Structure 1
Amino acid sequence: MKKVLLSIIFLLVISACSSNNNEQDSTAAEENNKVAEIPEVQVNFEHEPLPANDDTTIQAIVTQGGEPVPDAEYVEFEIWYSEEGQDSSDTIKAKHTEDGVYTINYSFDKEGTYQVIAHTQVGDLHTMPQKEVAVGQQAEASGHDHGDSSGKFMVHLMTEQTFKAGETSTLTAHINHMEEPFSEARVRYEISSDLMEKHTYIDAEEEEPGEYTANYTFPETGSYTINIHYEKPAEEIHGHQKEMLEVVQ
Structure 2
Amino acid sequence: MKKVFLSIILLFVMSACSVNNNEQDSSSAEENNQAAEVPEVKVEFEHEPLPVKEETTIQASVTQGGEPVPDAEYVEFEIWNSEDGQDSSETFKAQHTESGVYTITHSFAKEGTYQVIAHTQVDDLHTMPETEVAVGQQAEASGHEHGDDRGKFMVHLMTEQSFKAGESSTLTTHINHMEEPFSEASVRYEISSDQMEKHMYIDAEESERGEYTTTYTFPSPGTYTINVHYEKPDEDIHGHQKETIEVTQ
Taking structure 1 as the reference length, the TM-score comes to 0.49
Larger radius of gyration: 2
